[in-house]
Structure 1
Amino acid sequence: MKLLNPRGFGLVCASAAVAAGLVLAGCANTVEGTATVDQAQVTAYKAEVASSSAAASSSKAAADIAKATADNCDPFRKNTGTAVDRYNEFVDAHDASAADQNAKRDAAATALEDAAKAIETQVSASGPALPADLAGKFTDYVTAARALAAEIRKMSAGSSVAPLNDASKKVNDALTAVRNACPTK
Structure 2
Amino acid sequence: MKKFIAPVVGLVLLGLAGCGAASETTSAPEPQSQSEQGEADTSQTQVGGKDVAFGETAGIEEEGGQFAITATPLQDVTEFTTPPMEGKYVSTDVTAELVGGTGGAVASVDFMLVDAAGNEYPNAAPNGTDLTGQLFATLLAEGDSDSGKVFFDIPADATGLKMIYQPLTATEPAGSWS
**Which structure: greater strand fraction?**
2
Per the normalisation by structure 1, the TM-score is 0.31
Q: Which has the larger radius of gyration?
A: 1
**Which structure: greater helix fraction?**
1
Per the normalisation by structure 2, the TM-score is 0.32
